[in-house]
DNA sequence: CGATATGTTGAAAAAAGTCAATGGCAGTGG
DNA sequence: CCACTGCCATTGACTTTTTTCAACATATCG
């Protein structure tokens, strides 16, 4: 591990009322009056790939809403190896746990250039006290996180599916909403840390997918792959009729 | 799979104010006045082993608090195999998700004789609307469920640990609070469904643990094992100094 | 007392891990 | 501009772990 000096770029305060992901954001159901409280408290920040938003166990003063890019939530084992527990995409929230305890449960690291909103914990707590409108979205966020964890346990964890199948499933989950066929690229080490396999095994699985024309590099773009989403999905689901 | 006719025994309404797990229960922080609302709405029910509390996708009208015994939360794959996502113990809640959507996310099946409280969804919703005291415990429950899912992903899912180690970790999690050294017994199929391994592999791991005197059957009790918790923990954690 | 479930064990096959060598590519510094 | 270095990915050969298939044991239940 090397020390990285990351310069996060501050883009000013967020205008939540005109936010591009407003309809899916935490504050979707707030009304005009509520937004007065938000003014100047939420910062709009960019991070380069590989930046740490926060570390597991650290005291948490902020929640984050991801507006573009991808973030991995990581936990480190006693032996120093990492395990990736979730990968967050546009519209996802991270750091929700600071509303319960005050420490972060995971380490959050950017996988690509990231644009996000940084929301003070105290603001969410105050809004939640003052209006009943925030509670439902908060419950829904908890539920979504749990659903995601459950899906990883069923689809991505070992058992009844070989590495190639699970890599295909992972790639399906990494699809970019905007451009179909474009998936965010992970390092072999990261794929290994998601699936619990050796990086070499991940490489062999990717190689096999490439040879089947289900996956290809994007020339000049080291942050994405080009993927045959339908083909991968067919491989990923055991929908064979026999 | 065989059809089972299960007769659940109704023990009358619960007296939440004098509940044995009151301090850790959902309603721990309610005050005297709130309990008036609870009267006669919460049922105290017993289930035999192998009973289904509810099925994934079914409409959910109840939450459950587990007062004794163990419950598995299961999801079925397309090919009919089961995956166990969590195992709930005394004090745990299941069915929280009905507060968000109205359908259950998993199938809940008892692993042993179970005593639980059945709470109507509408009651929790009303209480949560009328008093602010329920929100914090609800958030904490969501958080606890997510923590548990994350722990399973890191400790029990494959990767950097062989079957024997993971079985040892699972057994550590199955310890009974009341009687140290007594752990709730799972079938080989269930262990397989938790760890994502074949039942035969689970059997071999258990055999190895038995031969090391870390595990033994309890004569006359098919619902428990006797385990050397310290020895298992030593096996489970990679805390070797070398 | 069979009949069915569940658990155990052995032997062979398959999957994945490990170790090591190689190649490409980006960034660095002459 | 080019060699050099470090990082990451790929590939092969070999080892280990786990699965699979099968046979057999044990227990429960009508």
Between the alpha carbon of residue A51 and those of residues A3, A42, A112, A144, the distances in Å are 11, 20, 9, 25
Helix axes B199-211, B163-173, angle to 10 degrees: 80
Contacts of A143 in chain B (CB under 8 A): 97, 100-101, 142
CB contact under 8 A, B153 and A152: yes
In a domain, A204, yes or no: yes
**Nucleotide in closest CA–C1' contact with A198:** C17
Mark whether A53 and A139 lie in a shared domain. yes
Higher pLDDT, B80 or A182: A182
Choose among A93, A94, A85, A90: nearest CA to A70: A90
The residue of chain A with its CA nearest to that of B77 is A154
**pLDDT tier for residue A1 given thresholds of 50, 70 and 90:** very low
What's chain B's Rg over C-alpha atoms?
Answer: 19
| A154 falls within a domain | no
Q: Which nucleotide is nearest to B196 (CA to C1')?
A: D18
pLDDT of residue A238: 60
A2 CB closer than 7 A to any strand D atom: yes
Question: In this predicted structure, which of A11-20, A141-150, B111-120 has the lowest mean pLDDT?
Answer: A11-20
Q: Is B102 within the bounds of a domain?
A: yes
User: Closest approach of chain A CAs to the CA of B90, in angstroms?
Assistant: 21
Q: Which residue of A has its CA nearest to B134?
A: A135
pLDDT surpassing 80 at residue A144? yes
Statement to judge: residues B197 and B107 lie in one domain: no
B184 belongs to a structural domain: yes
pLDDT mean over B138-151: 96
pLDDT exceeds cutoff 90 at A17: no
Residue B2 lies in a domain: no
pLDDT tier, B107 (very low <50, low <70, confident <90, very high otherwise): very high
Neighbours of B118 (CB within 10 A): 19
Q: Are B91 and B107 in contact (CB under 8 A)?
A: no
Distance of CA A173 to the CA centre of its chain: 10
CATH of the domain at A122: 2.60.120.10
Residues A43, A140, single domain; the answer is: yes
CB of A49 nearer than 7 A to strand D: no
| B5 pLDDT above the threshold of 50 | no
A34's CB contacts (< 8 A; 6+ apart) are A27, A127, A130, A131, A133
Mean pLDDT for the stretch of residues A120-130: 91
Residue A192 (CA) to nucleotide C23 (C1'), in angstroms, measures: 22
Query: Residue range A92-107: average pLDDT?
Result: 94
CB A209 within 8 A of CB A167: yes
Identity of the residue in A77, A150, A239 whose CB atom sits nearest the CB atom of B149: A150
The number of domains in chain B is 2
Residue of B nearest to A198 (CA): B159
* pLDDT tier, A150 (very low <50, low <70, confident <90, very high otherwise): very high
Among B130, B155, B180, the domain-final residue is: B155
- Residue-number span of the structural domain to which A138 is assigned: 9-144
CATH (domain of B182): 1.10.10.10
Chain A residues lying within 8 Å of B140, measured CB to CB:
100
Question: What's the whole-number mean pLDDT along residues A46-54?
Answer: 92
pLDDT band at A227 (very low <50, low <70, confident <90, very high): very high
User: Which positions on chain D have an atom < 7 Å from some protein CB?
Assistant: 7-13, 17-22, 28
For the stretch B11-52, pLDDT in tens is 778 777 777 777 777 877 777 777 777 767 888 999 999 999
For residue A37, the model assigns a pLDDT of 72
Last residue of a domain, one of A117, A144, A171: A144
Same domain, yes or no, for B25 and B121? yes
> What is the number of alpha carbons within 13 Å of residue B159 lying toward its C-beta?
31
CB contacts < 8 A (A, B): 109
Which segment of A32-41, B136-145, B200-209, B217-226 scores lowest on mean pLDDT?
A: A32-41
Q: Read off the pLDDT of each residue in A18-22 and give the average, rounded to a whole number.
A: 72
B3 within a domain of the structure (yes/no): no
More confident residue, B238 or A42: A42
In terms of domains, do B81 and B171 share one?
Answer: no
Same structural domain for residues B98 and B59? yes
Is residue B202 situated within a structural domain?
yes
Are residues A60 and A98 in contact, defined by beta-carbon separation less than 8 angstroms? Answer: yes
Distance from CA of B221 to the nearest CA of A (A): 30
Q: Are residues A87 and A14 in the same domain?
A: yes
Last residue of a domain, one of B155, B172, B198: B155
Is there a single domain that holds both residue A17 and residue A102?
Answer: yes
Same domain assignment for residues B132 and B209: no
Residue B130 in any domain: the answer is yes
Please indicate, yes or no, whether residues B193 and B214 belong to a single structural domain of this protein. yes
Question: Is A84 in the same domain as A139?
Answer: yes
Lowest average pLDDT, out of B150-159, B163-172, B232-241, goes to: B232-241
My answer on whether B205 and B103 are in the same domain is: no
């Amino acid at each position: 591990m090397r020390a990285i000096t990351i310069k996060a770029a501050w883009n000013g305060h967020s205008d939540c009322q005109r936010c591009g992901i407003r309809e899916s954001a935490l504050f979707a159901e707030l009304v005009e009056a509520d937004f007065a409280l938000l003014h100047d408290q939420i910062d709009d920040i960019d991070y380069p790939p590989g930046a740490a938003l926060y570390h597991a166990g650290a005291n948490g003063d902020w929640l984050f809403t991801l507006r573009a890019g991808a973030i991995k939530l990581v936990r480190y084992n006693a032996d120093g190896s990492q395990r990736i527990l979730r990968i967050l995409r546009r519209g996802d929230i991270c750091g929700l746990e600071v509303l319960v305890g005050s420490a972060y449960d995971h380490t959050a690291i950017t996988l690509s250039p990231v644009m996000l909103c940084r929301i003070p914990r105290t603001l969410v707590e105050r809004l939640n006290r003052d209006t009943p409108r925030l509670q439902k979205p908060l419950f829904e966020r908890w539920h979504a996180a749990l659903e995601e964890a459950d899906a990883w346990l069923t689809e991505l964890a070992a058992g009844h599916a070989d590495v190639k199948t699970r890599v295909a499933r992972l790639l399906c989950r990494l699809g970019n909403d905007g451009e179909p066929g474009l998936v965010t690229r992970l390092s072999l080490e990261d794929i290994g840390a998601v699936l619990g396999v050796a990086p070499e095994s991940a490489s062999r699985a990717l190689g096999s997918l490439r040879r089947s024309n289900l996956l290809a590099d994007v020339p000049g773009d080291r942050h994405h792959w080009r993927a045959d989403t339908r083909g991968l999905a067919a491989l990923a689901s055991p929908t064979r009729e026999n």
